[in-house]
Amino acid sequence: MEYLNKIIAAKDWLENNYDMDNIEIAIVLGSGLGAFAEQLDNPIEIDFTDIPDFKTSEVEGHKNRLVIGYSSGKKIIIMQGRLHYYEGNSMKAVTFPIRVLSMLNIKKIIITNAAGGLTGEAGQLMIIEDHLDLFCENPLIGENLDVFGERFPDMSKVYNPEWINIALEKGRSLGINLTKGTYCYLTGPSYETPFDIRVLKVLGVNAVGMSTVPEALVAKHSKMTILGISCITNLASGISTKPLSHSEVVETTSRVSEDFIKLLRGIIEEL
Ligand code: HPA
């Protein structure tokens, strides 16, 4: 199968060119949250453009590279930037890097994003307890990749409950403004209408965003253990009285960056 062959080719290329052994945790860094990658020990950077079949994102705040390095003595790999469906990528392209990471035998993944808050406040970090994927074209549609997982994967605990508790406890001990809640995927690129948000609020959604869920579905299918973290960059449409803008998203992530890095570093110690 062509898609699977491409995953294997990208994995082989990485293994032939870099030391990919013993990587414990993969981390996907969302819009504006890339700074965490800058403070790894002994970092090695790999541009997406060099890796066979890795596409690049044009969105501001995404650096389009993998960074391998150490945090608290653990070897980790970071996706500094990700692909989005709203850029015109297929869901298979969006989730291709996750398949490659899984094929490299990485079992743990932390997926982060910038999100609009229906509850809470801008600048808050939210541990994702569960997600609403009803508006997400499922990336698992098509021939099942049996090497990764089964045709009808269970999604009853996408985000690992123990890790949720570890993250909340770490946030508490570090004095970080942290909550937990439900994340809803929407395709974007337009932000929501106030009515979209009123409806989603009735459904119990805490945060909305344009990423994470496709990656989480594929990571779960690949039997990876997942933690999700949202940075609430703005109050959602209609809750905020201001028009929404990407510059506000990037501004808030840079304001929260220090806490985000502290939290992530603390969580990595524990996983
Ligand atoms: N809506 C959707 N995606 C987002 C938002 C938002 O308000 N903020 C950051 N990403």
Class of 2-270 in CATH: alpha beta
Question: Cα–Cα distance between 213 and 217 in angstroms, integer?
Answer: 6
Place of tokens 């304001």: 255
Q: Which among 30, 4, 25, 16 has a CA at the least distance from the CA of 188?
A: 30
pLDDT given at position 61: 65
pLDDT given at position 233: 94
Question: Cα–Cα distance between 207 and 226 in angstroms, integer?
Answer: 18
Secondary structure class of 225 (helix, strand, coil): strand
Is 246 one of the annotated active-site residues of the chain? Answer: yes
Q: What are phi and psi of 132, to 5 degrees?
A: -105, 115
pLDDT given at position 234: 95
Residue 254 CA to ligand 1 centre (angstroms): 15
What does the pLDDT average to over 123-143? 97
Question: Cα–Cα distance between 260 and 166 in angstroms, integer?
Answer: 15
Closest C-alpha to ligand 1, atom 10: 115
What does the pLDDT average to over 48-68? 87
Weakest mean pLDDT among 41-50, 51-60, 163-172? 51-60
| Percentage above 90 pLDDT, the chain | 87
Provide Rg for the chain, Cα atoms: 17
pLDDT value at 177 more than 90:
no
Cis (ω within 30 of 0) for the bond into 139? Answer: no
pLDDT value at 240 more than 90:
no
- Out of 113, 233, 252, 256, mutate this one to test ligand 1's pocket (max ligand atoms within 8 Å of CB): namely 233
- Out of 31, 249, 250, 251, mutate this one to test ligand 1's pocket (max ligand atoms within 8 Å of CB): namely 249
Give residues with Cβ within 8 angstroms of 220, minimum separation 6: 149, 153, 155, 158, 226
What does the pLDDT average to over 119-142? 96
Indicate the helix (H) or strand (E) that contains 180: strand 178-185
Q: Tell me the helices (H) and strands (E) count for the chain, helix number first.
A: 6, 9
Predicted confidence band of residue 95 (pLDDT cuts 50, 70, 90): very high
pLDDT in tens, 200-226: 999 999 999 999 999 999 999 999 999
pLDDT in tens, 3-33: 999 999 999 999 999 999 999 999 999 877 8
Domain segments of the chain as ranges: 2-270
Residue 189 CA to ligand 1 centre (angstroms): 9
pLDDT given at position 55: 87
pLDDT given at position 42: 94
Pocket of ligand 1 (CB under 6 A): 114-116, 191-192, 208-210, 233-234, 236, 244, 249
Predicted confidence band of residue 165 (pLDDT cuts 50, 70, 90): very high
Catalytic residue chosen out of the listed positions 26, 62, 91, 207? 62
Question: Cα–Cα distance between 33 and 183 in angstroms, integer?
Answer: 18
